[in-house]
Amino acid sequence: GKVGGWVGYGGDSVCRIAREPTAKKNALLTTFSDASPDPHAHRGIRIDFKKPISRNAFRFIHFDYKLDRQVKTLGCFLQDEENNMWRVFFGPAITGKWARSVVRESSFKFGWGEKPPGNRASKIVRLYLFVETPKVNTRSRFRLFFDNVTLSRKPPPAEPVESIDSGPITPRKRYLLLDSRLINSTKNARLAVGTVTKHPANPLFGQDLPWEQTIHHMYANVVFDTSDKLYKIWYFTTISGPPKQADWGRHVTPGRLAPGESRQGNCATLYAESADGIRWKKPPLDVYRYKGQPTNIVVWGTHGTGIFKDPRATDPQRRFKRISGRHPHGRLDAAFSVDGIRWGKRFPIAEARGDTHNNALWAPDLKKYVAFTREYPPPGIRTVLRMESRDFIKWSKPVEVLRGPIEAQTYSMPVFRYADVYLGLVAIFHTSGKLHGRVTTELAWSPDTKIWRRIDRGQPLIPLSNTVGDINWGCVYAASRPVVLKDKIRIYYSGQKKTHDWNDGWLCLATLRTDGWAGYVPRNASQPAVLVTKPILCNGKTLRLTADVHDGGSVRVSVLDTTGRPLGKSSTLTSNITQGVAAKVAAFRGMRICVRMDIRNAQVYSLGFTK
């Protein structure tokens, strides 16, 4: 049919085919200003179909777009034969890079038309894709590219991915193979998440105190405090439960150590500790009291608190740092503490919905604190936002960095640094299909906390139980960061028996082998997987490898020069190895070498050099 520029509420919009330089392809470009006689300015494209299309002919509408400026919202209209308009708004758009938006046909709501409330049996004749500018009449001009606009019965393919610039590989102590910057080529290989083992002592604790109304999500923050030689956890609960549940909050009063600020909402942050990370105690503290008696409540009126101990802090009063949402939602706060129990007054740092596991960390390569929170734009797609700060007081505006499709939404993402990359434990909220209403935890990685890649999408790192009624059947939410031990990694998480709702929750533990977040395995098990790295500086005497080798499996390791020519003989590993010797490379010290791995019935996670 026809394609052209479109404006709502007056203004201009020019549409043409143009070259998009980043993706190096032709795409549909619309350019427009925010000049408008109305308080609103909708700008975009209009697609007239050659013939009317039945709404039964498609279930999804998806398209790729690239926008050069921040806008208020991204939207889509359908116009039918009876001149009715059906609409959906996606919320804030991603700017500066190609992204994909997906909407189900069933998500469109009747807007206006000749025959309200609209006849869903009427065929579709026109499609509008547009944005609403943040303001009007500011003399700003926008460039908006569209490509691959599709109406389909099947879910869309994976969204477009812009390359991560790598350049020469910076020397490190260890190289995780999940870092795509290391990989030069693969054959019959795929990157698969590692295998966790759930602890036999699970659950470690549940809600057994009167003020622990629902610790369903828990949003746990676990640290091993080397000063006190204690595991410490801060976790979330509602004090006043859903309708028809008792209001325990009316019995809670400030204690001697309370910060002296006004009460907010019905949520709280609780504290527990453990000598071994398995057996936990909930100490009575005099921060807040219940019916006059000490409790383990350390913060009142926060939603989805993230707490960590900052080893960089020069002021002991700021040794522990906190970021949290409010209740009601809409603003993020921060606070400081000397011990994680006695907190100073909160102060506002940003505007965001924040009803998630807000969390923060120090990024040494950026020399900044980085925090992650959530927005919930229409039509109800949860997104991960990022912001940064040099002093934990003044923060940048939150910007979207990760979004899933509407049927598998990015609910939260605790982030931590491991082996010189950043990993995210993404909670995925499923809104359709067999997992409808349940929450799984998947893995993502980033080189800089800004660009994120999902790993083994759809495959949970911490699997749900298949048995209805198990504490891991309904939902799994990972704690803010793992506890890394010499021989394994501890991943704490909260489990729920039921689907996403106001439910009981339990603290649980899963363990992972060293470096075992994700590794390469054969795609076709009957053939070996072949992986070749990019040139890496050889700065040691031995090449070390971490891999799981199963029965009858092997990993053959070959050292190559930068042209692919073998340097010496290859070696073959036939058993599990953790940073074990794979090859002697002293003769190549100071050279850049490539490592080739032929993988049979095995999974390879990392490599490195020892001096």
Is 115 a domain residue? yes
Grade residue 21 by pLDDT with cuts at 50, 70 and 90.
confident
Q: What is the largest CA-CA distance in the chain?
A: 81
Structure-block tokens of residue 387: 């912001």
Whole-number Å distance between alpha carbons of 505 and 211: 14
Is 161 a domain residue? no
Residue 601 pLDDT greater than 90, yes or no: yes
Whole-number Å distance between alpha carbons of 218 and 235: 5
What percent of the chain has a predicted confidence (pLDDT) above 90? 68
* Model confidence pLDDT, tens digit, residues 288-306: 999 999 999 999 888 899 9
> What's residue 488's pLDDT?
97
Domain edge (last residue) among 512, 547, 568: 512
Q: What is the mean pLDDT of residues 484-492?
A: 97
Element (H, E) at 170: none
Are 332 and 443 found together in one domain?
yes
Is 262 a domain residue? yes
Are 487 and 571 found together in one domain?
no
Is 159 a domain residue? no
- Single-letter code of the amino acid located at 170: T
264 Cβ contact partners less than 8 Å away, ≥ 6 residues apart? 300, 301, 302, 326, 327
Grade residue 266 by pLDDT with cuts at 50, 70 and 90.
confident
Domain edge (last residue) among 486, 512, 538: 512
> What's residue 249's pLDDT?
76
Is 237 a domain residue? yes
Q: Give first-to-last CA distance, the chain, whole Å.
A: 66
* Residue 127, burial from CB neighbour count under 10 angstroms (0-12, 13-18, 19+): buried
Provide the mean pLDDT of the chain.
91
Are 476 and 539 found together in one domain?
no
Are 347 and 393 found together in one domain?
yes
Of the listed ranges 8-17, 274-283, 301-310, 491-500, the least confidently predicted one is 8-17
Domain edge (last residue) among 461, 493, 512: 512
CA distances from 234 to 320, 340, 500, 564 (A): 12, 9, 21, 51
Q: Is the dihedral of CA 114, 116, 122, 123 positive or negative?
A: positive
Grade residue 161 by pLDDT with cuts at 50, 70 and 90.
low
- Single-letter code of the amino acid located at 445: W
Are 502 and 557 found together in one domain?
no
> What's residue 295's pLDDT?
95
CATH of the domain at 189: 2.60.120.260
CA atoms within 13 A on the CB side of 600: 12
Residue 371 pLDDT greater than 60, yes or no: yes
Is 162 a domain residue? no
Are 178 and 132 found together in one domain?
no
Of the listed ranges 160-164, 287-291, 322-326, the least confidently predicted one is 160-164
Whole-number Å distance between alpha carbons of 75 and 66: 14
Whole-number Å distance between alpha carbons of 224 and 363: 19
Residue 105 pLDDT greater than 90, yes or no: no
Of the listed ranges 209-213, 224-228, 241-245, 273-277, the least confidently predicted one is 241-245
> What's residue 468's pLDDT?
94
Structure-block tokens of residue 254: 């400030």
> What's residue 261's pLDDT?
76
Residue 379 pLDDT greater than 90, yes or no: no
Number of separate domains in the chain: 3
Are 540 and 432 found together in one domain?
no
Q: What is the mean pLDDT of residues 549-568?
A: 95
Q: What is the Cα gyration radius of the chain?
A: 26
Residue 162 pLDDT greater than 60, yes or no: no
Are 11 and 31 found together in one domain?
yes
Question: Can you give the three-state secondary structure of 282-334, one letter per residue?
Answer: CCCEEEEEECCEEECEEEECCEEEEEEECCCCCCHHHCEEEEEECCCCCCEEE
> What's residue 35's pLDDT?
86
Are 107 and 18 found together in one domain?
yes
> What's residue 139's pLDDT?
86
> What's residue 10's pLDDT?
67
> What's residue 356's pLDDT?
94
Is 164 a domain residue? no
- Domain of 52 in residue numbering reads as 2-152
* Model confidence pLDDT, tens digit, residues 573-589: 999 999 999 999 999 99
Is 547 a domain residue? yes
483 alpha carbon, distance to own chain's centre: 19
CATH of the domain at 27: 2.60.120.430
Provide the whole-model pTM.
0.82
Query: 597: closest CA among 555, 565, 569?
Result: 555
458 Cβ contact partners less than 8 Å away, ≥ 6 residues apart? 408, 442
Range list of β-strands (E), 163-319: 174-176, 183-187, 189-193, 197-198, 221-225, 230-238, 252-254, 267-274, 285-290, 293-295, 297-300, 303-309
Long-range contacts formed by 108-117: CB under 8 A, 24+ apart? 108/76, 108/78, 110/84, 110/85, 110/86, 111/77, 111/84, 111/85, 111/86, 111/87, 112/84, 112/85, 113/80, 113/82, 113/83, 113/84, 113/85, 114/82, 114/83, 114/84, 115/82, 115/84, 116/84
Are 274 and 335 found together in one domain?
yes
* Model confidence pLDDT, tens digit, residues 25-63: 899 999 998 888 887 788 899 999 999 999 999 998 999
Are 508 and 561 found together in one domain?
no
Whole-number Å distance between alpha carbons of 319 and 317: 6
Residue 92 pLDDT greater than 70, yes or no: no
Are 491 and 539 found together in one domain?
no
CATH of the domain at 276: 2.115.10.20
- Phi, psi values for residue 448, rounded to 5°: -145, 10
DSSP state of 398: P
Q: What is the mean pLDDT of residues 120-136?
A: 88
